[in-house]
C-alpha cells in the first residue's frame, strides 16, 4: 500500500509540483515567524476595525499593538456579544463589530439558549478558509503518493438555510462554502476530483443527496483512492445507508436507470450522463458483497484502492474509531484540519499519524490567537474591568493545557471558542496541539452538543409527567450509545414509585423520551429530524439502589465520599455495564421532535 507514516524521501518520489512546493514553503514561512505573523495579524485586524463601535467602546483609540489590545479589550463569550449579534441580525448594518459588511452568519453547532450560535462573517474570510484548504493536499502528498491518479469519495452535504429578521443568510460554514462560487467554479485539480457531482452535494434533501453520492461512489469504485466525510459520524452514516439501500442501488446499476425517489431535476440531469448504461456485473458484485451481511472491511472490499479514510476522529469523534476500524479493515484515518465557524484554525502536518497521536498546528495567519491556561489551581481572572494578560501563540509551553481565545478579521475580539487544547510540541516556532475536549459538552453523537444544564432541563420537563403517578426521578445519568448507527442518547433513570399499583405505563415513559427530545437544543433536533444522524432517545429504568452501587464503585476507586456526585454522563465501560445489568425496562421516543430551520428569535 502506498501509505507511509514518514514523509516520502526524495529518492522514491517525484518532486511535488510547483504549487505544492509553494504551499509547503508558505507553511514553513508562517510557522517560522509565528510571533511576528501574529503581531501583524493583530495590527491588521485592529487597523481594519478601529472605527467599529465595539473597539471604540473600549477606548482603543486607533492603537494596533498587543499591549493596548490586551489591557483594554475584555475576554468574552458568545453570551457577552449577543446584544451586538442580535442587532446585526435585526438589520443594523452600522460597523458594530467589524468595519467590513457582514456578508452572512455562520451557524455554529454550539448553542446559546437552545438555538445555534450566529457567527458573523465577511466575504474575504472565504479566501482565508480556501487558503487553509489549499494546504491540505500538499501536506498529504508528502505521505501518500498517486492521489492525482484517482478520485475521492466524500460524503458532503449542505443543510437548510434561514434568514435573520434583517435579511442576512444564516447557515453552517460548510454549506456556505459548498454554495460559494469558489467551490462551484473551482478549477480542475487532479488531486481534488470527487466522485460526488456538485448537484448531489448541493441538494438539500439528505436522502437524495446521500443516495446519489453513494451511487456515484459505487459506479466509480475502482477509481476511488480515499473515502471520507467531515466527521466520522458522517462516514458511518453513509455505511449504514449502504446497508439499508444496497438493493435499490444495485438495481439502478444493473438497469442503468435512476431510482424514482430521486426527483431533484439537477441531479436527474447530471446522473443521465453518469448512469447511462446497465452494468449487471457491477450490480452483481455489489449484491454479493452486501447480501451476506458481513460488513467487516466493507470499505476496502467495495473500494479496493482506498489508501486512507479522510475523516475527523479527534475530540468527540474518537468514540467512532473502533467502528471505523471494523468497516475499513484498519485503513489509516487521516484527520487533516481543525476549524470552526468562528475561524479556521490549522492543519495536521502529519496526517497519517494514529488518531490518538494527532496534533494540529494552528496557522498564525488565520487570526490572532491567545490562550487561557487551563486547570491552574488559581484560575486566570477574566474581569471585564481589568482584562487579563493571556498567553500568546508563540509563548505556550509543551505539556500544558489551554483554552483557545480568538480574535478574527470578522469582528470577534478575544472570543472564547470553548476548546481545550494541549501543547504537544512545536513545528518551527508554531505550537502543535492535541484536541482535548470542548468545554461543557456532556453528550455528542454527531454535530449535536448537549451540556449538563440542557440535560437537567430535559429531565425536569420529562419527569414532570410522572407526578400524576406519584413517581419521581431520584437519580439519572446519561450515555452516548454509538454502537448502533445512528447513535442515540441513553438516559438512565432510577425512579421512586410511591404507588406501585398506579406506576407510569410504557406509553407515559415513551412520551417522557419525546418530551426530553423536544426540550433539547435546535442542533440536536435538527440531527434527529433533518439529518437522521441521531436516533430516538432512550430511557432505561434501573433498579432501586443502582445509583448507590454506582457511588460504592466510585468510592472503591478512590472518590471522596463527601464530595461524591452522581456523574451526569458515563462512558467508562465497567460503569456502563453495571448500569445495563440493572435495567428493568427500556423506552424509546415514539416520534421525532419538532424542528424547523427557522430560529426562535
Ligand atoms: P462549529 O462551530 O459547529 O463549526 O464547530 C467547531 C468545533 O468543532 C470546534 O470548536 C471543535 O470543538 C470541534 N472541532 C473542529 N475540528 C475538530 C477536530 N479536528 N478535532 C476535534 N474537534 C474539532
pLDDT digits (tens, 9 = 90+) for 400-450: 999 999 999 999 999 999 999 999 999 999 999 999 999 999 999 999 999
Name the residue with the closest Cα to ligand 1, atom 18: 338
Strand partners of residue 121: 104
What pLDDT, on a 0 to 100 scale, did the predictor assign at position 600? 65
- Sorted by sequence, the CB contacts under 8 Å of residue 495 that are 6+ apart come out as 466, 471, 472, 473, 474, 504, 541, 544
For ligand 1, mutation pick of 351, 419, 441, 523 (most atoms within 8 Å of CB): 419
- Inter-axis angle of helices 232-255 and 321-328, nearest 10: 30
- Give residue 14's pLDDT band: very low, low, confident or very high (50, 70, 90): very low
pLDDT digits (tens, 9 = 90+) for 316-341: 999 999 999 999 999 999 999 999 99
Strand partners of residue 153: 227
Classify residue 377 by its DSSP letter.
Answer: S
Residue 110 CB–ligand 1 contact under 6 Å = yes
Q: If you measure from the C-alpha of residue 457 to the centroid of ligand 1, how many angstroms do you get, rounded to a whole number?
A: 25
Phi, psi for residue 565 in degrees, rounded to 5: -130, 140
d(CA 341, CA 170): 11
Strand partners of residue 455: none
Q: If you measure from the C-alpha of residue 339 to the centroid of ligand 1, how many angstroms do you get, rounded to a whole number?
A: 6
Residue that is written with C-alpha cell 504537544 in the block? 424
- Sorted by sequence, the CB contacts under 8 Å of residue 552 that are 6+ apart come out as none
Residue 340 CB–ligand 1 contact under 6 Å = yes
pLDDT digits (tens, 9 = 90+) for 73-98: 999 999 999 999 999 999 999 999 99
For ligand 1, mutation pick of 105, 417, 435, 533 (most atoms within 8 Å of CB): 435
Residues in the chain: 601
Q: Report in angstroms the alpha-carbon separations of 129 from 28, 133, 204.
A: 18, 6, 23
- Give residue 12's pLDDT band: very low, low, confident or very high (50, 70, 90): very low
How many CB atoms are closer than 10 A to CB 248?
14
Name the residue with the closest Cα to ligand 1, atom 20: 314
Q: If you measure from the C-alpha of residue 438 to the centroid of ligand 1, how many angstroms do you get, rounded to a whole number?
A: 8
Q: Does the pLDDT value for residue 263 go beyond 60?
A: yes
Collapsing DSSP states into helix, strand and coil, what is residue 551? helix
pLDDT digits (tens, 9 = 90+) for 338-368: 999 999 999 999 999 999 999 999 999 999 9
Q: Could you tell me how far CA 334 lies from the centroid of its own chain?
A: 15
Amino acid at each position: 500500500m502506498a501509505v507511509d507514516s514518514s514523509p516520502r524521501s526524495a529518492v522514491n518520489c517525484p518532486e511535488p509540483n510547483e504549487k505544492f512546493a509553494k504551499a509547503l514553503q508558505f507553511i514553513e514561512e508562517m510557522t517560522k515567524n509565528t510571533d511576528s505573523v501574529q503581531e501583524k495579524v493583530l495590527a491588521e485586524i485592529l487597523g481594519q476595525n478601529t472605527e467599529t463601535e465595539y473597539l471604540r467602546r473600549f477606548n482603543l483609540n486607533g492603537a494596533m499593538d498587543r499591549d493596548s489590545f490586551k489591557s483594554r479589550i475584555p475576554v468574552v463569550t458568545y453570551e457577552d456579544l449577543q446584544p451586538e449579534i442580535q442587532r446585526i441580525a435585526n438589520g443594523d448594518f452600522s460597523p458594530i463589530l467589524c468595519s467590513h459588511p457582514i456578508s452572512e452568519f455562520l451557524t455554529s453547532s454550539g448553542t446559546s439558549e437552545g438555538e445555534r450560535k450566529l457567527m458573523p462573517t465577511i466575504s474575504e474570510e472565504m479566501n482565508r478558509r480556501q487558503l487553509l484548504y489549499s494546504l491540505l493536499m500538499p501536506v498529504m502528498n508528502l505521505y501518500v503518493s498517486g492521489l492525482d491518479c484517482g478520485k475521492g469519495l466524500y460524503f458532503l452535504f449542505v443543510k437548510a438555510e434561514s434568514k435573520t429578521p434583517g435579511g442576512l443568510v444564516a447557515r453552517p460554514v460548510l454549506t456556505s462554502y459548498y454554495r460559494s462560487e469558489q467551490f462551484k467554479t473551482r478549477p480542475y485539480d487532479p488531486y481534488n476530483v470527487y466522485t460526488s457531482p456538485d448537484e448531489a452535494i448541493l441538494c438539500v434533501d439528505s436522502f437524495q443527496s446521500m443516495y446519489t453520492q453513494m451511487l456515484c461512489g459505487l459506479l466509480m469504485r475502482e477509481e476511488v483512492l480515499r473515502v471520507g466525510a467531515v466527521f466520522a459520524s458522517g462516514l458511518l452514516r453513509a455505511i449504514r445507508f449502504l446497508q439499508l439501500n444496497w438493493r435499490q442501488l444495485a438495481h439502478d446499476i444493473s438497469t442503468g436507470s435512476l431510482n424514482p425517489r430521486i426527483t431533484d431535476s439537477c441531479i436527474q440531469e447530471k446522473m443521465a450522463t453518469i448512469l447511462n448504461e446497465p452494468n449487471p456485473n457491477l450490480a452483481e458484485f455489489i449484491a454479493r458483497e452486501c447480501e451476506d451481511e458481513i460488513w467487516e472491511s466493507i470499505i476496502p472490499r467495495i473500494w479496493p484502492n482506498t489508501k486512507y479514510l479522510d475523516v475527523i476522529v479527534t475530540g468527540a469523534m474518537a468514540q467512532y474509531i473502533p467502528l471505523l476500524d471494523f468497516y475499513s479493515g484498519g485503513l489509516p484515518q487521516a484527520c487533516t484540519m481543525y476549524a470552526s465557524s468562528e475561524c479556521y484554525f490549522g492543519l495536521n502536518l502529519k496526517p497519517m499519524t494514529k488518531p490518538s497521536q494527532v496534533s494540529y498546528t494552528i496557522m498564525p495567519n488565520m487570526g490572532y490567537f491567545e490562550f487561557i491556561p487551563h486547570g491552574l489551581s488559581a484560575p486566570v481572572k477574566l474581569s471585564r474591568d481589568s482584562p487579563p494578560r493571556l498567553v500568546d501563540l508563540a509563548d505556550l509551553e509543551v505539556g500544558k493545557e489551554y483554552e483557545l481565545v480568538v480574535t478574527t478579521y470578522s469582528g470577534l475580539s478575544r472570543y472564547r471558542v470553548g476548546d481545550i487544547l494541549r501543547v504537544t510540541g512545536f513545528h518551527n516556532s508554531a505550537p502543535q496541539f492535541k484536541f482535548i475536549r470542548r468545554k461543557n459538552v456532556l453528550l455528542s453523537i454527531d454535530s449535536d452538543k448537549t451540556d449538563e444544564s440542557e440535560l437537567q432541563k430535559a429531565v425536569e420537563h420529562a419527569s414532570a409527567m410522572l407526578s400524576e403517578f406519584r413517581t419521581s426521578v431520584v437519580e439519572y445519568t446519561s450515555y452516548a450509545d454509538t454502537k448502533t448507527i445512528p447513535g442515540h442518547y441513553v438516559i438512565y433513570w432510577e425512579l421512586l414509585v410511591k404507588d406501585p399499583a398506579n406506576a407510569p405505563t410504557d406509553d407515559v415513559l415513551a412520551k417522557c423520551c419525546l418530551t426530553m427530545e423536544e426540550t433539547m437544543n435546535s442542533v440536536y433536533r435538527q440531527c434527529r429530524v433533518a439529518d437522521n444522524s441521531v436516533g430516538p432517545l432512550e430511557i432505561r429504568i434501573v433498579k432501586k439502589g443502582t445509583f448507590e452501587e454506582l457511588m460504592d464503585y466510585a468510592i472503591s476507586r478512590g472518590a471522596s465520599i463527601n464530595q461524591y456526585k452522581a456523574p451526569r454522563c458515563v462512558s467508562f465501560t465497567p460503569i456502563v455495564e453495571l448500569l445495563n445489568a440493572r435495567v428493568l425496562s427500556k423506552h424509546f421516543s415514539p416520534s421525532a421532535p419538532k424542528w424547523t430551520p427557522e430560529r426562535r428569535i
